[in-house]
Amino acid sequence: MSSVPPASEQTTAASSGSSTAIACDIFCAVIDNFGDIGVCWRLARQLASEHGWQVRVFVDDLHAFQKLCPSLALDRARQTVGGIVVEHWHEPAHAGDTLEVADVVIEAFGCELPPIYVAAMTERARAPVWFNLEYLSAEDWVADFHLRLSPHPRHALTKTFFFPGLGPGTGGVLKERHLDAARAAFEVSPAAREAWWRQTTGHAPPPATATVVSLFAYENPAVDGLLEQWRDNPAPIVLLVPEGRISGAIARFFDLPSFTGGSHASRGNLTAHALAFTAQAGYDALLWASDINFVRGEDSFVRAQWAAKPFVWHIYPQADAAHLPKLDAALAHYARTLPADARDALARFWHAWNGAGRPDWAEFQRHGPALQRRAAQWAGELAQVGDLAGNLALFAKTQLK
């Protein structure tokens, strides 16, 4: 492993005053789902495409990453995908075959940087801007801790905590500049929608009388009762299910050995299509094609809000029900202006989907128009907070001056 160039030889956008692009390293350890790398990859692509940064992503699980980015090779220690360098990170000691330190360093979700990399940060002529990117939370305390500084206990380095959030004073959430225009173009184009349905499901779009539901969730015992309600619904329900942790329950309901991409099944008024796991770049169209979206974790939760459709969130479950206050905090933001009866119905449904009771689909549907209006209104409110990549880039530039 090569050593870090002496401080006198290092040239960066911050220290040289040149037009050299800002270099950014993002470190990501995948825990047990796709959310960690999903957020990091989306952030990396946006910093590169919209802000012109030179981005490198260190990730420890290429298999999980490849689900979101099919062009990724599993057998390469270093590769470039879409102009972004990807390093297979053998944490905790590994920092790439060549030790290089960027102008901006993002430690995602408390994954801890390699000690050799931290030591190299101290050797630069100017210390990099170091972010600890936290998980998204809608809780009120987030605004108080966003951009709080944390000096390193041994080195002359300072870490800045960057908190995504749904309200003012937070880092916001990720949103690309083109997203609203892309959604609008899809929604007004019957040809685009028909092409999407035929390519994704092998079938034509359903009739206007059908309610289209996308279902992306963790394992969930409430799904059996909900499938029964959809089967017995007075009007048709068309279910779109990306392959994942809910697939086994869908297969059991339809008495099938499996429910993998390309599978189709019907019972009563419920028709279900299994979709191959959707690459990140294609997930938004699934949300746009649906009337109601069931989402999970962080990344799909954020995308559902930008889709401006009613949605149901399966929050990542934590021990001792520590996730429920986070669920309620999100509801407090999202449902704030709903009429009381619609707000209560939404809260009951979200809580039931997260383990407290039985989801009542008929009640949820009765408030469909109010929920649709609020979904569109909320997307506009959330945009006022600013997008996470833009907020992070702006703050970093103020520190690099």
Q: How far apart are CA 388 and CA 43, in angstroms?
A: 8
Residue 36 is among the residues annotated as catalytic for this protein: yes
Q: How far apart are CA 174 and CA 177, in angstroms?
A: 10
Q: At what angle do helices 280-289 and 35-51 cross, to 10 degrees?
A: 100
Contacts with 197 (C-beta within 8 Å, 6 or more apart), sequence order: 203, 204, 205, 206, 289
Q: How far apart are CA 222 and CA 356, in angstroms?
A: 9
Among candidate residues 36, 139, 243, 299, the one labeled active-site is 36
DSSP state, 387? B
Are the CB atoms for 136 and 117 separated by under 8 Å? no
- 242: preceding bond cis by omega (within 30 degrees): no
Among candidate residues 176, 284, 298, 387, the one labeled active-site is 298
Contacts with 335 (C-beta within 8 Å, 6 or more apart), sequence order: 342, 343, 346, 347, 374
Strands 78-81 and 84-88: antiparallel
Contacts with 340 (C-beta within 8 Å, 6 or more apart), sequence order: none
Q: Which residue has the tokens 């709080």?
A: 148
**Partners of 314 in beta bridges:** 296
Residue 298 is among the residues annotated as catalytic for this protein: yes
Three-class SS state of 190: helix
Are the CB atoms for 115 and 143 separated by under 8 Å? no
DSSP 2-36: BPPPPGGG---HHHH-S-PPPEEEEEE---SSSHH
Sheet bearing 270-275, strands edge to edge: 264-267, 270-275, 237-242, 211-215, 292-296, 311-314
Active-site amino acid positions: 36, 298
